[in-house]
Structure formats: structure tokens, C-alpha cells
């Protein structure tokens, strides 16, 4: 893992990333004159906003920004540029880099280190060959006169938690089944200081979690239901916030089998919501935020084994209502429904679920953001949107009109798990809302949770989407 540290003055200089409104070679020991002349010359070229060079083994990168612009786009620009610096540094086998911010915006120092650190993530512990590339970058030093150690500590936590979420998403199901996922949460709880209770199959049966058991019926592995609780003594909130994460450790579609290779190959990512919830809990506890938060994760794989539920089955859910289960590939809502019903006992201030729930959400907005909808109070929604912009995990609000309720009515049960051909992300959210009696917000992360090509500091594979969003939301409450 990369470590980020803070210095208030630039003393040694080596590899350096400079963020500046207008490049200035100050302090004057920064570069020899020929180097600063070259940088200035390059920056005069039309539209050139950055220069990177390797000078006698020293990597130097200058990013020019207009610090009067929108802060969130400045931060994102800085993160993205920084990710290119990480790649260059690792190619040069460099171990450290300094972040030198000449603007008046301390947030850009943080954004630069965040981009550098997140881009340095690797998932390579299964590679045994000697040729395995291991990133050499280890230390990022922010040079800033006013930033405080707390901010750096928080950034280290965020990068650590996001990397943990990526690891969980990237592990395939033969390495990480529902029990392994629950155990991973248990370990994170021990490490960060929050409580984790794991319900096994017999406890899940006692609770009559019919949705979770139905999805698990075709599997040889047992389901788990993880209950995480972080309750600091001086919590600001009277009623807890509840986070619910979809923990489908692998989604074959069940008997409504997905076609491979088009859609099944990536389905180890179907617990990305669970990973985001567990790792957000980890970050919140590590940073000792004064918020009482509960995390719930129903987990299982979805397989077409012998007892797999058949399309058309009628399932009695934990809340006693029935579902005509017309498509076994619409499994996420079945397991989430029981978790959302379970959450009622806490009288939550707000419940947020994160789920790779529908291809429809990904089809609508791609991997550039999260599809959101729900019954949360307008103020709560606005805080979520703001956090979305802060961390560039933006939320696109979908309508939640009552007409959509009609599409999931069943003639032979209370509702069905399949809507019509249109509005699939919304009918899935509507299905879930039936199991809530509190302010509720649904985040469908099917688009951004997992990317098949490298996407800047989000990397390739699991992106850890949701962790930074939730952390920012709770930090700013």
C-alpha cells in the first residue's frame, strides 16, 4: 500500500507533481533553469495544460489548472492527471513522489495524492510468475504549509478502504464465497473497531428470510447475513443510519441462466454493493466519525443447482408477503428485500442500499455514475448528490412515480420480481421500496462497480465505487 505523508516545506526534491495556476519555478531550487525554461516553453503551446518529463532520472510533471473554476471538476482533473503520473513513476521504478501545489486550494493537494494513491492499486497476489509487475511507488509526500495531519490520515484511510473493496470485488467466487465475505467483514471489524455478527443458514432459516433462502437454494455453499454495527459513544444521530449491500458473490442467473461470455463472465462483481458497505463501515470506524451506522449484507451465490428455485415459484419473504419469482436472474432484489425488512427494527434515520442490481441502470448511464432513487427526504438526497460530486461518484436521480408500481403487480402473489421491458432499474427499486417503512434511498451501481478496461485512478476490475461516496456523506453530516 502507498503511504501518504505530510511536510510543510519542500526540502529535498526528486520526483515531483506540481499543480499550479501558472507555472512558477519557486522556490528557485525546484529546477535548473534549462528545465523550467523547457516547461514554460511547452506550456506556451496551444491548449497545453500539462507537461511531464524525465530529467536525468527525475520525473517531473506540471499540471496547470484554473483555480477559479468549479472545485469538483478541478479535483477530478487533478486526480486523473495524477493517475498518469503514478503509471509513469512505476514504469521508472520510482519509490516516492512529492506533491507540490502552488494554487490556493489545499483540496487539490489531497486530490493529487488521492489520484496517485488510488491509481497505484494492484490486484496481483494470485500471480506467481517471476515476471509479475509490482508497483514500486510507496511514498507520496504532500508538501503544504497549512494542511493538517488529520486530513492526511483520513486520505490514507479512504485509499485503504477503497483498495479493500476492490480486492473483495476482484476475488472470484472460488476464493470468496458468502462465508468468506462475512469473515472478511469480521476481520475488518476487528481491525477498525466495529462489531460484526454473522448469521449462518440455520439462523437465516429461523428468521424466515425466504428471499435469501430462495436464491441460495441452487447453491452448495451456505448463505450468510452479516450485521455490522459501529456505535461511537458520542454519536450525533439518535436513530442509526443503515447501509445495505447486495452480496451476490456470483450471479449465474440461476435457472434463468445468463449467456456466457456476454454477461456471466464478470459476475464475480455482483457483491460490489456489499464490498462498498463493509469497506465504508471500515473507513467510518477507522476515522472515528461520530455517527451510529449499521451495515447489513445478505450474501449467497446464485446458481442453477438441483433445488434451485424455478421461474414461477412463489416465495414467502421474511415480512410474510409473497413474491412470484418469474426470473431467477432478478435475484438481487430477493435477498435485499429481506435485509430491508430486517432494517425496520432499527427505526433508521435513513437506509441506503448499494447494489449491482440491473443491467438497465448500466444501459441508461454507463459507467459514469450511479443510478439513484427512493423515498428519502429531499435534504438527505441533496446531501448524497453533493457527496457524489465531491468524490466524483455522481448520482443520477431516476423517477420514482407510482405508475411503476403497477408493473410489478402479480395476479397470484403480492408482487412479482420482474417488471416490463422498460424502466427496469426503476421497477427493481420499486420492488425494494415495498420492504421499507423509513426514509430510503437505492443506489444501483451496476454500471460503475466493475470496469473491463483501465479507467484512470479507478483502475481495471473492481473500482470500489460507493466507499468514497458513503464516507464523504457521513463525514459531512
Binding site for Zn ion (CB under 5 A): 248, 251, 270, 332
208, 258, 344, 475: the catalytic one is: 258
Residue 303 annotated to the active site = no
Answer for which of 163, 356, 390, 463 binds ligand BES (CB under 6 A) is: 356
Phi, psi of 328 (to 5 degrees): -75, -5
Give the three-state DSSP class for 169.
helix
Answer for which of 331, 338, 349, 353 binds ligand BES (CB under 6 A) is: 331
> From its phi and psi, is residue 208 left (phi > 0), alpha (psi between -120 and 50) or beta?
left
Which does residue 424 bind out of ligand BES, Mn ion, Zn ion, none, counting CB within 5 to 8 angstroms by kind? Answer: ligand BES
- Give the ranges where 312-375 is alpha helix by DSSP (H): 332-343, 359-365
Q: Which of 287, 251, 205, 288 is nearest to 446 (CA)?
A: 251
Q: Which of 296, 185, 167 is nearest to 244 (CA)?
A: 296
| Span from 67-75, 224-232, 314-322, 351-359 in contact with ligand BES (CB under 6 A) | 351-359
Residue holding cell 489545499? 106
* C-beta closer to Zn ion: residue 143 or 308: 308
Which does residue 298 bind out of ligand BES, Mn ion, Zn ion, none, counting CB within 5 to 8 angstroms by kind? Answer: none
353 binds Mn ion (CB under 5 A): no
Beta partners for 227?
197, 296
360 binds ligand BES (CB under 6 A): yes
333, 381, 416, 468: the catalytic one is: 333
Q: Are 274 and 299 in contact (CB under 8 A)?
A: yes
329 binds Mn ion (CB under 5 A): yes
Q: Which of 298, 299, 273, 441 is nearest to 354 (CA)?
A: 273
Answer for which of 25, 153, 327, 410 binds ligand BES (CB under 6 A) is: 327
Residues 84 to 123: which contact ligand BES by CB under 6 A? none
Residues 15 to 34: which contact ligand BES by CB under 6 A? none
Number of Cβ within a 10 Å radius of residue 150:
10
Residue 430 annotated to the active site = no
Q: Cα 148–394–270 angle (5° rounding)? A: 105
* C-beta closer to Zn ion: residue 228 or 248: 248
Encoded one letter per residue, x for contact with ligand BES by CB under 6 A and - for no contact, window 266-305 reads ----x-----------------------------------
| Span from 99-107, 156-164, 350-358, 458-466 in contact with ligand BES (CB under 6 A) | 350-358
SS3 content of the chain, % helix, strand, coil (to 5): 40, 20, 40
| Span from 234-242, 249-257, 305-313, 415-423 in contact with Mn ion (CB under 5 A) | 249-257
| Span from 65-73, 234-242, 307-315, 355-363 in contact with ligand BES (CB under 6 A) | 355-363
Smallest distance, Å, CB 423 to ligand BES? Answer: 11
Q: Which of 244, 290, 286 is nearest to 158 (CA)?
A: 286
Answer for which of 154, 160, 251, 338 binds ligand BES (CB under 6 A) is: 251
Smallest distance, Å, CB 23 to Zn ion? Answer: 49
Q: Which of 324, 354, 347, 320 is nearest to 209 (CA)?
A: 320
Smallest distance, Å, CB 141 to Zn ion? Answer: 42
Smallest distance, Å, CB 360 to Mn ion? Answer: 12
Smallest distance, Å, CB 360 to ligand BES? Answer: 5
Helix (H) or strand (E) holding 55: strand 50-55
* C-beta closer to ligand BES: residue 145 or 261: 261
Answer for which of 251, 338, 444, 472 binds Mn ion (CB under 5 A) is: 251
Answer for which of 62, 418, 443, 470 binds ligand BES (CB under 6 A) is: 418
Spatial separation of the C-alpha atoms in residues 384 and 160, rounded to whole Å: 22
Spatial separation of the C-alpha atoms in residues 63 and 49, rounded to whole Å: 6
Q: Which of 52, 50, 172, 57 is nearest to 450 (CA)?
A: 172
> From its phi and psi, is residue 461 left (phi > 0), alpha (psi between -120 and 50) or beta?
left
Answer for which of 232, 305, 311, 359 binds ligand BES (CB under 6 A) is: 359
Q: What's the number of CA atoms in the CB half-sphere (13 Å) around residue 425?
A: 26
Q: Are 61 and 17 in contact (CB under 8 A)?
A: yes
Q: Which of 194, 185, 198 is nearest to 225 (CA)?
A: 198
329 binds ligand BES (CB under 6 A): yes
* C-beta closer to ligand BES: residue 332 or 429: 332
301 binds Mn ion (CB under 5 A): no
Question: Would you state the cell numbers that stand for residue 239, as one nine-digit string?
Answer: 436513530
330 binds ligand BES (CB under 6 A): yes
Which does residue 439 bind out of ligand BES, Mn ion, Zn ion, none, counting CB within 5 to 8 angstroms by kind? Answer: none
Spatial separation of the C-alpha atoms in residues 391 and 368, rounded to whole Å: 12
Residues within the interface to Mn ion (CB under 5 A): 251, 329, 331
Residues within the interface to ligand BES (CB under 6 A): 251, 270, 327, 329-332, 356-360, 362, 418, 424, 446
Give the active site residues.
Answer: 258, 333
Amino acid at each position: 500500500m502507498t503511504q501518504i505523508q505530510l511536510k510543510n516545506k519542500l526540502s529535498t526534491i526528486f520526483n515531483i507533481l506540481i499543480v499550479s495556476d501558472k507555472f512558477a519555478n519557486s522556490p528557485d531550487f525546484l529546477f535548473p533553469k534549462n528545465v523550467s525554461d523547457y516547461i514554460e516553453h511547452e506550456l506556451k503551446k496551444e491548449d497545453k495544460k500539462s507537461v511531464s518529463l524525465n530529467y536525468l532520472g527525475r520525473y517531473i510533471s506540471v499540471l496547470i489548472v484554473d483555480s477559479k473554476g468549479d472545485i469538483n471538476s478541478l479535483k477530478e482533473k487533478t486526480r486523473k492527471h495524477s493517475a498518469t503520473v503514478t503509471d509513469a513513476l512505476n514504469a521508472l521504478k520510482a519509490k516516492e513522489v512529492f506533491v507540490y501545489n502552488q494554487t490556493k486550494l489545499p483540496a487539490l493537494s489531497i486530490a493529487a495524492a488521492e489520484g496517485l494513491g488510488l491509481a497505484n492499486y494492484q490486484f496481483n497476489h494470485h500471480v506467481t510468475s517471476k515476471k509479475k509487475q509490482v508497483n514500486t511507488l510507496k511514498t507520496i509526500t504532500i508538501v503544504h504549509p497549512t494542511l493538517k495531519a488529520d486530513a492526511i490520515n483520513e486520505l490514507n484511510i479512504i485509499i485503504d478502504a477503497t483498495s479493500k473493496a476492490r480486492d473483495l470485488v476482484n476475488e472470484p467466487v472460488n476464493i470468496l464465497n458468502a462465508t468468506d465475505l462475512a469473515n472478511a467483514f469480521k476481520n475488518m471489524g476487528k481491525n477498525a473497531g466495529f462489531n460484526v455478527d454473522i448469521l449462518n443458514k440455520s439462523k437465516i432459516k429461523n428468521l424466515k428470510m425466504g428471499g435469501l433462502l430462495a436464491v441460495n437454494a441452487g447453491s452448495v455453499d451456505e448463505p450468510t447475513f452479516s450485521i455490522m454495527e459501529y456505535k461511537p459513544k458520542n454519536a450525533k444521530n439518535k436513530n442509526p443510519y443503515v447501509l445495505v449491500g447486495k452480496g451476490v458473490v456470483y450471479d449465474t442467473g440461476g435457472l434463468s441462466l445468463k449467456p456466457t461470455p456476454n454477461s456471466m463472465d464478470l459476475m464475480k462483481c455482483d457483491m460490489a454493493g456489499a464490498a462498498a458497505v463493509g469497506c465504508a463501515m471500515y473507513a467510518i470506524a477507522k476515522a472515528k466519525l461520530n455517527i451510529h451506522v449499521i451495515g447489513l449484507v445478505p450474501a449467497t451465490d446464485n446458481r442453477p443447482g438441483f433445488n434451485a428455485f424455478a421461474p414461477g415459484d412463489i416465495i414467502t419473504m421474511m415480512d410474510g408477503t409473497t413474491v412470484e419469482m418469474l426470473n431467477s436472474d432478478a435475484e438481487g432484489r430477493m435477498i435485499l428485500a429481506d435485509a430491508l425488512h430486517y432494517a425496520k427494527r432499527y427505526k433508521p434515520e435513513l437506509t441506503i442500499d448499494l447494489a449491482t442490481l440491473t443491467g438497465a441502470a448500466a444501459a441508461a448511464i454507463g459507467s459514469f455514475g450511479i443510478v439513484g432513487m427512493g423515498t428519502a427526504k429531499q435534504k438527505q438526497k441533496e446531501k448524497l448528490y453533493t457527496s457524489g460530486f465531491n468524490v466524483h461518484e455522481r448520482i443520477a436521480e431516476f423517477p420514482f412515480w407510482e405508475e411503476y408500481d403497477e408493473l410489478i403487480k402479480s395476479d397470484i402473489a403480492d408482487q412479482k420480481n420482474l417488471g416490463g421491458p422498460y424502466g427496469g432499474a426503476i421497477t427493481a427499486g420499486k420492488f425494494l421500496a415495498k420492504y421499507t417503512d423509513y426514509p430510503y434511498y437505492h443506489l444501483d451501481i451496476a454500471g460503475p462497480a466493475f470496469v473491463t478496461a483501465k479507467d484512470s485512478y479507478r483502475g481495471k476490475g473492481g473500482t470500489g465505487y460507493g466507499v468514497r461516496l458513503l464516507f464523504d456523506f457521513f463525514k459531512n453530516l
